[in-house]
């Protein structure tokens, strides 16, 4: 059996829940409450010294970093593939996933918002402004990359779900939770909304997880 250390609202956990569902893989959840700092307890740090969620445990091995775990799941369970078959297509899809995984999410992580508020006494409004700034810049980058390539269909690349869609859907959900205006990114939002309606994406939605509140 495989175990996923997850928090319902963590968008990186959400990515892995989607991939596990797409691959039809069974998993058991272990809930790690970020508000309760459960990711920083000695027990969890012994499992994943990075002190972040998600972590996947399979065959006694612990895997951290969601983008790395997506590739691991794709390599060990190739059907359906989450990356295209050609090197340049893979570079394109990985690049899109990384616009979200490297240019948007790390800046808007809960730990970053907390630090800004604690260290410089920024208000909730300031933190929201920060959040929205990086959403706007990151989605501009994502949208223009999609538009310039002309490669999107119902999904980011053609009509097949890839890791780009798997990263996009949780980021759009998060942006909406922070009331970001996404009107300037119609291509990205339409792709995310179509993907979010697929059964595997629906099953992975934060609101359906047993730790949701």
Residues of the shown chain interacting with a second copy in the complex, contacts defined by CB under 8 A: 45, 49-52, 61, 63-65, 67-69, 71-72, 75-76, 87-88, 90-92, 94-95, 97-99, 101-103, 105-107, 112, 115, 119-120, 122, 126, 129-130, 133, 141, 144-145, 147-148
Question: Residue 119: exposed, middle, or buried by beta-carbon count in 10 A (0-12, 13-18, 19+)?
Answer: exposed
| CA dist., res. 193 & res. 189, Å (int) | 6
Residue closer to a second copy by CB (options 56, 189) is 56
Q: How far is the CB of 67 from a second copy (least distance, A)?
A: 6
Residue closer to a second copy by CB (options 69, 161) is 69
Q: How far is the CB of 137 from a second copy (least distance, A)?
A: 8
| CA dist., res. 57 & res. 54, Å (int) | 10
Most distant CA pair in the chain: distance in Å?
A: 49
Strand partners for 62: 57
Q: How far is the CB of 45 from a second copy (least distance, A)?
A: 8
| CA dist., res. 23 & res. 162, Å (int) | 12
Residue closer to a second copy by CB (options 120, 213) is 120
């Amino acid at each position: 059996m495989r175990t996923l250390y997850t928090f319902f609202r963590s968008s990186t956990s959400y990515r892995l829940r989607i991939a596990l569902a797409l691959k039809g893989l069974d998993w058991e959840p272990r809930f790690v409450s970020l508000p309760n700092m459960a990711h920083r307890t000695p027990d969890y740090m012994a499992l994943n010294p990075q002190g972040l969620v998600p972590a996947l445990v399979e065959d006694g091995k612990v895997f951290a970093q969601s983008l790395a775990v997506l590739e691991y799941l794709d390599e060990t369970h190739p059907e359906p593939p989450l990356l295209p078959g050609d090197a340049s297509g893979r570079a394109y899809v990985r690049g899109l996933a990384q616009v979200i995984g490297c240019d948007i999410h790390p800046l808007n992580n809960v730990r970053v918002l907390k630090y800004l508020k604690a260290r410089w006494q920024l208000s909730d409004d300031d933190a929201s402004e920060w959040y929205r700034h990086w959403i706007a810049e990151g989605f501009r980058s994502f949208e223009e990359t999609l538009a310039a390539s002309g490669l999107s269909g119902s999904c980011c690349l053609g009509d097949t779900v890839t890791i780009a869609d798997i990263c996009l859907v949780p980021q759009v959900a998060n942006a909406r939770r922070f009331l970001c205006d996404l009107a300037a990114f119609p291509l990205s939002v339409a792709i995310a909304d179509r993907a979010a309606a697929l059964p595997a994406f629906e099953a992975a939605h934060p609101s359906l997880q047993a730790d949701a509140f």
